[in-house]
């Protein structure tokens, strides 16, 4: 298993990339400009692609290099491009209806990371992995998941909801690269394509929302209750 | 041979999907979809008869054919057939959408196809993807009418369910990770492999993974408190789509939860996992009871009833034991049939009275003596009253619960079922015996609007009076395979 056979340099490199990806999630939390969110998401995807490539090359999983290229292409380029197009078409530059100030969101995000670490640490203790990179990978996985949910809760704009979901996906992808690099290639590829379909679907629905409902803010979607 | 039957189902449905889209003529698409539904039904019955007792795999272990999967496909095929017949009558009412109707049938077939794919996946990851695809396709069906409400419902549906499925994916990855400590870094991700590693894996990790999967697929099943998308999507889509969502899709997602529960069968956390399912089921019943009593919109009423019945099924599987499992499986079939009937009737009445409000639908029997009587019988059936099938399956589940680790839930379930019975039928009392409406409906229902309801009613009456021996044998076989899960 990869996580048991890491050299010092490898472990440091993987940890560094994981932490950079986590910090980029905070960039998203700390800004109200949707374009910043998209750029941060793109950067995060590239970091994850770099991580995949690094694991593929140093850990002898050649197919991961291929996955890294696909990640950079799909998650790092195509998805941000699609999102930017939606934002430009609908002229949504800013998240106007956040529940919290950026600073408070960031603090809240910090607590979520602490919680994730506590959970990952507990798992690590049980599985004798305390000083292993697995704890960091699990922390990043859970933290990105929770930060994604936080973005879904705090932000009302439709594009922000998509970004929240994509952050969740990125977290899973990031963690799975370190924990289960041998996961079947087919599955990873299908999930990537699936993501593309889902974002296109979201894009179409946002346009329908804009045209038929006249708003893309989830706080104004209040026709259906009870 | 048997695999060819399965491939034929996929091919036929796929052809109906492609043909409908390409033809650009609504009548052609309609006929193709109906033909696919009829052929699928026949083929699934063949599968039901011919499937060997033991699970078999194909295509390098990527596909799995077992009694449970076939049972879910059987429920699906029935609903698909009934809904396809009903759609012919219902969709022709929508004159504004005539130009896009071929797309509706194409998407309808695509929706059925994704649901036929899911139960046969032997790889949990591919199963997850199949469920994700059902979400994407059905979101377009929910939003088909392009009314602000439909689009809002489709949007909420896809956002909430995608978030839930994100959790399920995380759970799936963690399950796989748990296996790498035992089977090495690279192994086939199959249900059987995961089941083989579970007894040796770290219980805390397994529990965490299971809870993630439970909440994730539970969102799709519509278990409270993750059910919030369900009333919106079920009420705003066209009636045939509502029937498919409720009668077919929810079962497909429930299958996933059950497969994961089965993985934990011989671990130390099995009882805890079961209890988690029981708690979610019990809470779903509570939420459904409260919202059914105060409901004002007819299709939302039926939608909350789906939350209720998914709760009942979750309780049945959570109780476990032969009675709990068989009751829950039987409940799947009965619910699929009965809920289709209720949604078809609701679609007819919404169109006849030109309103979604229960308050506007009055004196149904006076204006629609025949279809009104069938709908009323369906409403009595859906609340679990005898002599219909749901009574039998609910009773079986209650008996299973008595012998389970959570007998408290039996009382909980019994009380809430009575509350739901009163609350649900109170709305029907008002619709059937309330004051005369201001505007009498002038709609004439045609044969296709009523025939699927009548067929469903006959079936649930039969299922309520008689456990058909082949069905009993099939369900007993599933219960044995699931080891009483």
| pLDDT(A164) > 70 | yes
What pLDDT sits at residue A193? Answer: 80
Q: Which of A168, A187, A194 sits opposite B132 (nearest CB)?
A: A194
In this complex, is the C-beta atom of A129 within 8 Å of any C-beta atom belonging to chain B? no
Return the bridge partners of B357, or none. B297
Token pair recorded at residue A184: 């079947």
Strand (E) or helix (H) holding B214 = helix B203-221
Residue B484 — very low, low, confident or very high, per pLDDT cuts 50/70/90? Answer: low
What pLDDT sits at residue A97? Answer: 64
CB contact under 8 A, A221 and B166: no
The pLDDT tens digits for A71-86 are: 999 999 999 999 999 8
The predicted model gives B178-191 an average pLDDT of: 91
Interface test with A, best of B185, B210, B233, B287 (most A CBs within 10 A): B185
| pLDDT(A96) > 80 | no
| pLDDT(B181) > 60 | yes
Interface test with B, best of A184, A197, A200 (most B CBs within 10 A): A184
Residue B292 — very low, low, confident or very high, per pLDDT cuts 50/70/90? Answer: very high
Assess contact for B450 and B374: CB atoms under 8 A. Answer: yes
Alpha carbons B400 and B391: distance in angstroms, whole number: 14
CB contact under 8 A, A165 and B143: no
The pLDDT tens digits for B331-379 are: 999 999 999 999 999 999 999 999 999 999 999 999 999 999 999 999 9
Residue B434 — very low, low, confident or very high, per pLDDT cuts 50/70/90? Answer: confident
| pLDDT(B118) > 90 | yes
| pLDDT(B439) > 90 | no
Rounded to the nearest angstrom, the minimum Cα separation between B434 and chain A is: 23
The pLDDT tens digits for B36-93 are: 999 999 999 999 998 888 899 999 899 999 999 999 999 999 999 999 999 999 999 9
Strand (E) or helix (H) holding B196 = helix B191-197
Alpha carbons A90 and B269: distance in angstroms, whole number: 50
The predicted model gives B247-276 an average pLDDT of: 95
* Mean pLDDT score of chain B: 94
Residue B442 — very low, low, confident or very high, per pLDDT cuts 50/70/90? Answer: confident
| pLDDT(B482) > 90 | no
CB contact under 8 A, A172 and B173: yes
CB contact under 8 A, A213 and B152: yes
Token pair recorded at residue B230: 């369900």
Of A149-163, B302-316, B445-459, the one with minimum mean pLDDT is: A149-163
| pLDDT(B485) > 60 | no
In this complex, is the C-beta atom of A161 within 8 Å of any C-beta atom belonging to chain B? yes
More confident position, A43 or A62:
A43
Of A183-187, B171-175, B188-192, B198-202, the one with minimum mean pLDDT is: A183-187
CB contact under 8 A, B185 and A182: yes
Alpha carbons A166 and B166: distance in angstroms, whole number: 9
Reported residue count of chain A is 226
| Rg, Å, chain A Cα set | 18
Q: Which residues of B fall within a CB distance of 8 Å from A149?
A: 163
Assess contact for B463 and B333: CB atoms under 8 A. Answer: yes
Token pair recorded at residue A82: 């699609």
The pLDDT tens digits for A104-124 are: 999 999 999 999 999 999 999
Max CA distance (Å), chain B: 72
| pLDDT(B28) > 60 | yes
Percent of chain B topping pLDDT 70: 100
Alpha carbons B252 and B119: distance in angstroms, whole number: 7
Alpha carbons A63 and A109: distance in angstroms, whole number: 34
What pLDDT sits at residue B481? Answer: 87
Chain A / chain B CB contacts < 8 angstroms: 135
Alpha carbons B210 and A211: distance in angstroms, whole number: 41
What pLDDT sits at residue B166? Answer: 93
Alpha carbons B169 and B45: distance in angstroms, whole number: 32
The pLDDT tens digits for A8-51 are: 888 999 999 999 999 999 999 888 888 899 999 999 999 999 99
Nearest to A63 by CA among A184, A158, A152, A170: A184
The pLDDT tens digits for B195-209 are: 999 999 999 999 999
Tokens 């599987």, residue? B317
Could you tell me the pTM of the whole model? 0.95
Q: Which of B155, B166, B167 sits opposite A221 (nearest CB)?
A: B155
Q: Which of B126, B139, B148 sits opposite A213 (nearest CB)?
A: B148
| pLDDT(A127) > 60 | yes
| pLDDT(B248) > 90 | yes
Nearest to B191 by CA among B127, B267, B274: B127
CB contact under 8 A, B180 and A226: no
In A, residues 185-214, which contact B (CB 8 Å cutoff)? 187, 190-191, 194, 197-198, 201-202, 205, 208-209, 212-214
The predicted model gives B16-45 an average pLDDT of: 95
CB contact under 8 A, B152 and A224: yes
Q: Which of A122, A191, A212 sits opposite B129 (nearest CB)?
A: A191
The yes/no answer to whether this complex scores an ipTM above 0.85 is: yes
Please, which residues have CB within 8 angstroms of residue A151's CB and are 6 or more apart in sequence? A28, A29, A160, A163, A164, A167
Assess contact for A172 and B173: CB atoms under 8 A. Answer: yes
Strand (E) or helix (H) holding B64 = strand B63-65
Rounded to 5 degrees, φ, ψ at A217 are -100, 130
The predicted model gives A132-157 an average pLDDT of: 93
Rounded to the nearest angstrom, the minimum Cα separation between A191 and chain B is: 7
What pLDDT sits at residue B91? Answer: 93
Q: Which of A176, A197, A221 sits opposite B173 (nearest CB)?
A: A176
Alpha carbons B266 and A66: distance in angstroms, whole number: 38
Assess contact for B189 and B171: CB atoms under 8 A. Answer: no
Assess contact for B356 and B298: CB atoms under 8 A. Answer: yes
What pLDDT sits at residue B371? Answer: 94
Interface test with A, best of B124, B134, B153, B163 (most A CBs within 10 A): B163
| pLDDT(A191) > 90 | no
In this complex, is the C-beta atom of A115 within 8 Å of any C-beta atom belonging to chain B? no
């Amino acid at each position: 298993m990869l996580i048991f056979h890491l050299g010092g340099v490898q472990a440091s490199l993987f940890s560094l990339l994981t932490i950079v990806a986590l910090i980029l999630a905070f960039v998203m939390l700390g800004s109200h400009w949707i374009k910043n969110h998209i750029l941060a998401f793109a950067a995060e995807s590239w970091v994850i692609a770099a991580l995949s490539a690094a694991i593929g090359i140093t850990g002898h999983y050649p197919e991961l290099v291929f996955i890294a290229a696909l990640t950079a292409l799909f998650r790092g380029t195509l998805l941000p491009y699609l999102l930017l197009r939606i934002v430009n078409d609908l002229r949504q530059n800013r998240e106007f209806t956040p529940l919290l100030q950026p600073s408070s969101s960031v603090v809240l995000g910090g607590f979520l990371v602490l919680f994730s670490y506590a959970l990952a640490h507990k798992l690590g203790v049980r599985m004798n992995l305390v000083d292993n990179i697995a704890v960091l990978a699990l922390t990043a996985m859970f933290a990105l998941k929770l930060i994604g949910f936080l973005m879904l809760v705090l932000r009302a704009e439709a594009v922000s909801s998509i970004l929240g979901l994509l952050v969740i996906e990125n977290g899973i992808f990031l963690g799975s690269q370190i924990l289960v690099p041998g996961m079947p290639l087919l599955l990873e590829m299908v999930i990537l394509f699936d993501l593309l379909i889902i974002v296109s679907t979201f894009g179409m629905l946002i346009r329908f929302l804009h045209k038929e409902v006249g708003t893309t803010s989830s706080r104004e979607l209040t026709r259906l209750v009870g | 041979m048997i695999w060819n039957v399965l491939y034929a189902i996929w091919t036929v449905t796929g052809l109906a999907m492609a043909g409908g889209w390409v033809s650009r003529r609504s009548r052609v698409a309609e006929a193709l979809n109906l033909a696919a539904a009829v052929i699928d039904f026949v083929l699934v019955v063949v599968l039901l008869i011919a499937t060997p007792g033991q699970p078999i795999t194909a295509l390098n272990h990527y596909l799995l054919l077992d009694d449970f999967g076939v049972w879910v496909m059987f429920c699906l095929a029935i609903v698909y057939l009934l809904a396809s017949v009903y759609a012919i009558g219902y969709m022709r009412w929508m004159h504004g959408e005539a130009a896009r109707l071929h797309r509706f049938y194409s998407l309808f077939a695509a929706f059925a196809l994704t649901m036929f794919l899911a139960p046969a996946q032997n790889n949990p990851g591919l199963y997850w993807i199949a469920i994700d695809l059902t979400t994407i396709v059905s979101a377009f069906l929910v939003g088909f009418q392009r009314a602000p409400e439909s689009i809002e419902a489709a949007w909420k549906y896809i956002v909430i369910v995608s978030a839930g499925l994100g959790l399920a994916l995380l759970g799936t990855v963690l399950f796989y990770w748990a296996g790498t400590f035992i089977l090495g870094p690279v192994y086939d991700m199959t249900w059987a492999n995961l089941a083989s590693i579970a007894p040796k894996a770290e219980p805390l990790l397994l529990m965490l993974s299971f809870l993630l999967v439970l909440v994730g697929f539970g969102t799709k099943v519509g278990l409270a408190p993750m059910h919030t998308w369900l009333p919106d999507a079920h009420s705003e889509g066209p009636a045939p789509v509502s029937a498919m969502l409720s009668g077919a899709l929810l079962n497909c997602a429930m299958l996933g939860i059950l497969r994961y529960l089965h993985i934990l069968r011989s671990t130390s956390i099995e009882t805890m996992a079961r209890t988690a399912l029981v708690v979610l089921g019990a809470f779903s019943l509570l939420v459904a009871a409260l919202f059914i009593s105060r409901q004002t919109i007819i299709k939302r009423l039926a939608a909350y009833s789906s939350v209720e019945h998914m709760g009942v099924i979750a309780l049945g599987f959570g109780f476990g034991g032969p009675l709990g499992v068989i009751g829950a499986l039987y409940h799947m079939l009965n619910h699929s049939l009965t809920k289709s009937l209720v949604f078809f009737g609701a679609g007819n009445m919404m169109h006849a009275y030109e309103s979604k409000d229960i308050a506007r639908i009055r004196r149904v029997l006076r204006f629609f003596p025949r279809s009104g009587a069938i709908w009323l019988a369906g409403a009595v059936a859906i609340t679990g009253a005898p002599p219909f099938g749901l009574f039998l399956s609910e009773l079986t589940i209650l008996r299973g619960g008595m012998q389970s680790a959570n007998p408290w839930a039996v009382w909980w379930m019994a009380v809430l079922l009575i509350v739901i019975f009163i609350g649900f039928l109170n709305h029907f009392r008002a619709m059937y015996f309330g004051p005369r409406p201001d505007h009498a409906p002038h709609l004439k229902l045609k044969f296709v609007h009523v025939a699927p309801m009548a067929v469903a009613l006959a079936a649930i009456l039969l299922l309520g009076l008689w456990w058909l021996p082949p069905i009993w044998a099939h369900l007993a076989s599933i219960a044995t395979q699931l080891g009483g899960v």
